[in-house]
A and B are shown apart, each in its own frame.
Chain A
Amino acid sequence: MGNLAIRFDGVSKRYHIGALRKANLTFREAITGTIMAGVRRIGRRLRSRNEAPSEDTIWALRDVCLEVKHGEVLGVIGRNGAGKSTLLKIVSRITEPTSGCGEVFGRVGSLLEVGTGFHPELTGRENIYLNGAILGMKRLEINRKFDEIVDFAEVAKFIDTPVKHYSTGMYLRLAFAVAAHLEPEILLVDEVLAVGDARFQKKCLQKMEDVGHEGRTVLFVSHNMPAITRLCQRAILLDEGHLVADGPAHGVVSRYLGSGAVLSGVREWPDPAKAPGGEIARLRAVRVRDENGQVTDAVDIRRPVDLEMEYDVLVPGYALMPNFQFVNEHGLHLFSTHDVDPAWRRRPRPAGRYVSVARIPGNFLAEGMLFVGAALVTIEPIFSQQFYERDAVAFQVVDTMEGDSARGDYAGIMSGVIRPLLSWRTRAYSDSAVSPA
């Protein structure tokens, strides 16, 4: 057993959706809720003997059995909500499983908690000690690595300055340096959460590779399939909480891509029998195109991008409304867009093949991965959904840091789910009462 780093034996984790949605209920709600739950439970019991599957819970992980050896670099893949982050949370003991058990051998560190606990009022030196202690380092250990951390972060000159005066770059470097020097036996990397600019993300990946070479265990969650196959020998695939594949990274990645859960800029259904659709219309393809019409899975934040839906109308006489749903990498539904092209709006269509295109302007989306769901409904004479393909395509929005995007000259993390480029005006009032002292 000494060779094992992680062992999961039938680990499951259930979340109460109610608890997630309105986490902070009041006493009154708790009391009424408890009474109502009791009433419902009695009601259910009267109706049937079987324990009905509760509707307000979801299983983020279900019966996951897993063994990871020391020194193994394991890729964890799956679509949004498949349970990847929950898996990492259980390994790091942030949350405990609902059932099942397991063992984790060694100190767990993660590159998703970079800068956690940093306080702006404290100096760089103070924050190194504080952050180190939060991550589980002993003071002696921090003393020993202190110079190394400061060197790595390139902040020696400002080490006794409060970090609120640091540039974002310095702040991130320092935070990363502390996390990187923790030297955990097991390192967790959630690429989705590794915020920051491209250079910083690269540094995270580099560090991960180094750690892998040093014989440590790494769990790497990513949507970036090439990175998974490059860095990991082995991968696991999660789907709705179930571990559905476990094996050599190449095999698992191809299975994932082949399963139709492709996360790329194009998705096609050559066989109509297997395509999503109803009796009236059937989906053929969804594509992401840049402004030159090239299919792409990475777009410049400043340029427009076209979302294209190709579909066959099988039965004439219906007015249709194609639409797209945009979800970001944190699973947040950003917006939906409906086809309002007057050419076909509320007009019955003849049977045949159609292509509907929605153009998203440049300087509107925020950086990061976007997942696009494609759907089609009939509006008249009846309302019916013909298909809804969740995560049909995905693409990356990339900020080029050239200074002409909405971020201007700021190089650090910009939060927010959209990033419009707005017009700004600043006027100087030189005759105002305020004068330099």
Chain B
Amino acid sequence: MAVINARRVDAPQLRVAAARIAPSRGLVSLRLRELWEYRELIYFLTWRDVKVRYKQAALGAAWAVIQPVLTMVVFTVFFGRLARVPSDGLPYPIFSFAALVPWTFFANGLLQSANSLVRSAELIKKVYFPRLVVPISAVASGILDFFLALLVLVGLMVYYKMALTVNILWLPLFTLLALVTSLGVGLWLSALNVQYRDVRYVVPFLTQLWLFATPIAYPSSLLPAPWREVYGLNPMVGVVEGFRWALLGGSGAPGPMLMVSGLAALGVLVSGAFYFRHMEKTFADVV
């Protein structure tokens, strides 16, 4: 898109922002400042998605809980009871649920953001605003669902009489890591989706593979030590193990693995944002 100079020109009566119109070349700026100007739009679009989702579904907010809870039940029966997958000494239901809460947030955010641009085609063709607003609010609209599921997790912890530790203070960081990963991949997929509608078929397949590549049904301690850090290249490994550590305690902090995950997530986010901005100029013409 055009390079915007946010400089302001003092006209006799009004202060007028001058928008420069020019073809963008090379590596484009992310224009985070303009994005900040539009923060209220992010808020309103997020709020719209949440409101509409809850208004339209008969069970409303219950879906936020049903999805991870049922997955947990199935995992507990098949992996926990029948296959006897180890769970680091924790009761299997809470072991898997602590992972499913951030996972569900991540997977839904990914799905929503991947489709977000195509779904907002009308808006994109008719009104200008920083396009990054669209996938960001798509991911953000899952935050409420996440907190509802988190409440159930707290209930489960009370049931299993698990004591909270100071580790819980790290939880916001792991939540942020899940959000960053979800948004990063979402930026890539949403921009690709405009040009190639294959993305629609790729997303469910991708999340399914990713689910099994993440230690949700099994602990990462199954891997021999040196491989755990490599495993951290999947940022969701860091998120899931981080959640377990922050809430359920257990063996020491997964430090190095978390570092790897954090860097990987940041890499995906930054590259996704630049790719998105690079493709942005074609959105209105192609979508």
Contacts and interface: CB of A to CB of B under 8 A. Distances in A.
Interface of A: 1-3, 8, 11, 15, 19-20, 23-27, 30, 70, 89-108, 112-113, 116-117, 119, 121-122, 126, 129-130, 133-136, 138-139, 185
B20 interface: yes
B17 interface: yes
23 contacts: A2-B12, A8-B21, A19-B286, A24-B196, A24-B197, A93-B21, A94-B125, A95-B281, A95-B285, A97-B22, A98-B23, A99-B23, A105-B17, A106-B14, A106-B17, A113-B126, A116-B126, A121-B51, A122-B52, A129-B44, A130-B45, A138-B40, A185-B16
Nearest to B281: A96
A98 B285 CA distance: 12
A93 B283 CA distance: 12
A406 B110 CA distance: 45
Contacts of A108: 128
Contacts of A20: 285
Contacts of A94: 124-128, 284
A25 to B, nearest CB: 7
B9 A89 contact: no
A126 B51 contact: yes
Given A2-B11, A23-B286, A93-B1, A116 B44 contact: no
A172 to B, nearest CB: 16
Interface string B117-130: 00000111111110
A42 to B, nearest CB: 24
A121 B19 CA distance: 35
A134 B123 contact: yes
B52 A121 contact: yes
B287 to A, nearest CB: 7
Interface string B20-56: 1111100000000000001011011100100110011
Interface of B: 1-2, 9-12, 14, 16-24, 38, 40-41, 43-45, 48, 51-52, 55-56, 122-129, 195-198, 281, 284-287
A138 B41 CA distance: 9
Contacts of A70: 11
A20 B129 CA distance: 22
A154 to B, nearest CB: 24
A106 B38 CA distance: 16
Contacts of B41: 133-134
A152 to B, nearest CB: 21
Which of B10, B21, B281 gathers the greatest number of chain A CB atoms within 10 Å?
A: B21
Given A96-B23, A134-B129, A116 B122 contact: yes
**Closest 7 pairs (CB-CB, A-B):** A101-B22, A102-B21, A133-B44, A93-B128, A113-B126, A24-B197, A104-B19
Nearest to A92: B128
B51 A122 contact: yes
Central interface residue in B45, B48, B56, B129, by most chain A CB within 10 Å: B48
Interface centre among B1, B38, B285 (most CB of A within 10 A): B285
Contacts of A1: 9
A139 B127 CA distance: 18
Candidate in A15, A98, A101 with the most chain B CB atoms within 10 angstroms: A101
A189 to B, nearest CB: 14
A25 B287 CA distance: 11
Contacts of B122: 116-117
Contacts of A185: 14, 16
Contacts of B198: 26-27
B25 to A, nearest CB: 10
Contacts of B195: 24-25, 30
Given A103-B18, A103-B19, A133 B24 contact: no
A70 B16 CA distance: 11
Nearest to A162: B55
Given A24-B196, A117-B123, A136-B38, 15 more contacts: A2-B9, A3-B11, A19-B286, A92-B128, A94-B128, A94-B284, A96-B21, A97-B22, A99-B23, A100-B22, A104-B21, A119-B48, A121-B55, A130-B45, A138-B40
Contacts of B9: 1-2, 105
Given A30-B195, A106-B16, A96 B123 contact: no
Contacts of A30: 195-196
Given A26-B196, A26-B197, A96-B1, A135 B17 contact: no
B123 A93 contact: no
A98 B287 CA distance: 18
Contacts of B11: 2-3, 70, 105
B126 A96 contact: no
Nearest to B199: A27
A19 B123 contact: no
B124 to A, nearest CB: 8
A113 to B, nearest CB: 4
Contacts of B18: 103-105
Contacts of B287: 23
A2 B10 contact: yes
A420 to B, nearest CB: 27
A185 B8 CA distance: 14
Given A2-B12, A134-B41, A134-B123, A89 B284 contact: yes
A101 B20 contact: yes
